[in-house]
Amino acid sequence: MAAAVLVGAMALGFAATPPAAAQDPPEEPRLAEVTVVRYGGADRFETSVLTTKAFTDFKGDHLEQVMIVSGYKWQDAVIAAPFDSPVLLTRRHAVPAATMDFLRRFEAPWPTIISTNAISPAVDQQLKDAGLDVFRVEGSDQFRTSVAVANHYGFGGQYRGRRAVILASGQVFADALIAGQLSARLNLPILLTPPTSLHSSVREHLISENVRRVIIMGGTSAVSERVEESIEQLGIDVLRFAGETRFETAVHTAHATRPIQCWRDGEGIAVGLTRAWVPYDAFSAAPMLARYGAPLLLTHPDELPAATMDYLDEVRAAQAKCDDAPVKLIVIGGEAAVSQSAIDSYLQRLPDLKE
The span from the CA of 278 to the CA of 275, in Å, is 6
Q: Rounded mean pLDDT of 155-174?
A: 92
Q: Domain for residue 3, yes or no?
A: no
Look at the chain and report how many structural domains it folds into.
1
Is residue 69 one of the residues assigned to a domain? yes
235 is a domain residue: yes
pLDDT of residue 94: 98
Q: What is the pLDDT of residue 237?
A: 97
In this prediction, residues 56-70 reach a mean pLDDT of 84
Q: What percent of the chain has pLDDT over 90?
A: 76
User: Is 245 domain-assigned?
Assistant: yes
- Quickly state the pLDDT bin for 235 (edges 50, 70, 90): very high
Domain for residue 9, yes or no? no
Q: Kindly state whether residue 107 falls inside one of the protein's structural domains.
A: yes
pLDDT for 353 equals 57
Per the structure, the complete domain to which residue 328 belongs is given by 31-348
Looking at residue 354, its pLDDT comes to 55
Q: Is 15 among the domain residues?
A: no
Instruction: Give domain status of residue 261, yes or no.
Output: yes
Cα(126)–Cα(336) distance, rounded to whole angstroms?
32
Per-residue pLDDT averaged across 50-79, rounded? 89
End-to-end CA distance of the chain: 38
